[in-house]
Amino acid sequence: MSTSYPLGISFEFFPPSTDAGREKLIGVRDALAERHPRFFSVTYGAGGSTQGRTLATVRSIREAGITTAPHLSCIGSEKAQLRDLLAQYREEGIDSLVALRGDLPSGMGGIGELRYANELVEFIREETGDHFEIAVAAYPESHPQAPSFERDLENFARKVKAGANLAITQYFFSADAYFHFVERARALGVEAPIVPGIMPITNYTKLARFSDACGAEIPRWIRKQLEAYGDDSEAIVKFGTEVVSRLCQRLLDGGAPGLHFYTLNQAGPCLRILDNLA
Ligand code: FAD
């Protein structure tokens, strides 16, 4: 596999909540580090609910010697809390972030002082200048709460222009949705690279649940085929690997600047896809 595309590959993890999960992640990290990713990233729970675990995971992931970007969401947080966290990240030598609004879990406090990701990006730039490389989220199939595709695209452009260096997309299974989004974003003056987010397919029930929640469409032909496999997880993995490998190849051939994998803390599915790429 050649990684001649400019932004290479990156891998996203979630902070494990058990000792077994933490131990397993070290092995996953090491297996993926061998593919020379440009960076790893670690997700963050809205309102700071995983703050300690995100930081602990970032520390352990960074031991592999690869840039590691904590995700940071603003919803449900006060500026003072975010300021302290940014200062702590700087002290630890962290220089990359994924900046998000996040989603407030039901029943959890108020919105906080920053309502949207563009306000968080502005805040980070005001507080820390150019210290951090900032990535933001993009939605080729539209954010589920957006009133329209156009409005969402304008909001995306605003967020990049507030000072983001790159964007990572929500996962999708239609390469055309990605190319259309990139073209429309360029027309609005967005120059930052837009890296496709890639979700390996390994489990139909989980994929359907995630996709319903985040608004990613599973095309009918993929859904029907996965349904037909029932409990045959080997067949699901084989088919899922083929489908997602073809998607990745098409994205790269069409000019995508890199690939960002939602690993779900597993190395195998990402490695199988990477092994299939030319
Ligand atoms: P925003 O860009 O703020 O957009 C949210 C909605 O508000 C959109 O509908 C948008 O159109 C609208 N909007 C944006 N700006 C404005 C404005 N100024 N005025 C009016 N409307 C506006 N979630 C987590 O909790 N933790 C994570 O670690 C995490 N990591 C993620 C990583 C990636 C790459 C992606 C794609 C998503 C991630 N998410 C994560 C999910 C994300 O938090 C949710 O999708 C959330 O609902 C939106 O976050 P955002 O930063 O895209 O929000």
What is the DSSP secondary structure assignment for residue 105, as one 8-state letter?
Answer: P
Q: Is the pLDDT of residue 231 over 90?
A: yes
Question: 83-95, pLDDT tens digit by residue?
Answer: 999 999 999 999 9
Residue closest to 48 by CA, chosen among 19, 21, 70: 70
Distance 75 CA to ligand 1 centre (A): 10
Question: 235-257, pLDDT tens digit by residue?
Answer: 999 999 999 999 999 999 999 99
Q: Is the pLDDT of residue 107 over 80?
A: no
Output the pLDDT for position 166.
98
Distance 117 CA to ligand 1 centre (A): 6
Spatial contact of 252 and 9, defined as CB atoms under 8 Å apart:
no
Q: Which residues contact 112 (CB under 8 A, 6 or more apart)?
A: 47, 74, 75, 76, 77, 78
* Of 18 and 104, more confident: 18
Rounded CA-CA distance 32/268 in Å is 9
Spatial contact of 170 and 197, defined as CB atoms under 8 Å apart:
yes
Spatial contact of 110 and 77, defined as CB atoms under 8 Å apart:
no
Q: What single letter denotes the amino acid at residue 186?
A: R
Residue 169, CB-side half-sphere exposure with 13 Å CA sphere:
31
Q: Is the pLDDT of residue 135 over 60?
A: yes
- 190 ligand 1 Cβ < 6 A: no
Question: 60-79, pLDDT tens digit by residue?
Answer: 999 999 999 999 999 999 99
The mean per-residue pLDDT over the stretch 1-25 comes to 89
Counting ligand 1 atoms within 8 A of each CB, the residue from 101, 154, 190 with the most, and so the one to mutate, is: 101
Output the pLDDT for position 51.
86
Q: Could you tell me the two tokens for 142? A: 């539209």
The mean per-residue pLDDT over the stretch 199-211 comes to 96
Helix-strand-coil split of the chain, %, nearest 5: 45, 15, 35
Q: Is the pLDDT of residue 179 over 90?
A: yes
Distance 57 CA to ligand 1 centre (A): 22
Which active-site residues does the annotation give? 12
Output the pLDDT for position 46.
77
Residue ranges and CATH numbers for the domains of the chain are: 9-276 (3.20.20.220)
Output the residue whose Cα is nearest ligand 1's atom 42.
Answer: 102
**Mean pLDDT over the full length of the chain:** 95
Output the pLDDT for position 49.
80
